[in-house]
Amino acid sequence: MSSTATDVVRLLTVRGETLAVAESLTGGLVAAEITSVPGASKAFQGSVTAYATALKHGLLGVDATLLADRGAVDAQVAAQMAAGVRKTLGADWGIATTGVAGPEPQDGQPVGTVFVAVDGPVAANSGSAAGGKVEALRLNGDRAEIRMESVRSVLALLLTELVSEHTGNERAQDTERNGGF
């Protein structure tokens, strides 16, 4: 279990918020990392492993035209997966992974192309979405390394959003510069 997963579960639990996960290339590894944390059931709603492109549309509501035009390895697809799992599983936060772990390229994208996304509640003070962030990654390594770095990256992105949404952007950036909470 990672300290990032522990921090995510702790923050969500303290705030009384919940999390849902949509995974493609990580195949359940994000959910496994979260559920390895004792007490995760207080915050973790569940996950959808939508490995097949058709499931991204059918279960998560990703736009079929977007999938047909761009393929599953795309920033907008990741964003829609996160929003879709959040809605489908009734969670406050949704996170998603999609990408190419290898060994072969997919949808015209090279091995190591990964998109991770977070979708969160609307912040009461700003009227804007706290989540709705997508990060594009270019990862090196073998299949296992790419998948594990994708897990680490999506949890780190979520943690950053949780801290930013909770403390306000200026303070969160100061916290990051100073190495922690």
Q: What are the sequence ranges of the domains in the chain? A: 3-177
- Cα–Cα distance for residue pair 111/146, rounded to 1 Å: 9
Q: How confident is the model at residue 128 (pLDDT cuts 50, 70, 90)?
A: very low
Q: How confident is the model at residue 130 (pLDDT cuts 50, 70, 90)?
A: low
State how far Cα 131 lies from the chain centre: 10
- For the segment(s) 3-177, the CATH number from 3.40.50.300, 2.40.30.10, 3.30.2130.10, 3.90.950.20 is 3.90.950.20
- Cα–Cα distance for residue pair 52/60, rounded to 1 Å: 12
14: tokens are 């303290």
Q: How confident is the model at residue 2 (pLDDT cuts 50, 70, 90)?
A: confident
Q: Is the pLDDT of residue 29 over 70?
A: yes
Q: Is the pLDDT of residue 102 over 90?
A: yes
Q: What is the pLDDT of residue 139?
A: 98
Q: Is the pLDDT of residue 14 over 90?
A: yes
Q: How confident is the model at residue 18 (pLDDT cuts 50, 70, 90)?
A: very high
Residue found by looking up tokens 């579960």 in the block = 9
CB 119 within 8 A of CB 82: yes
- Cα–Cα distance for residue pair 162/144, rounded to 1 Å: 27
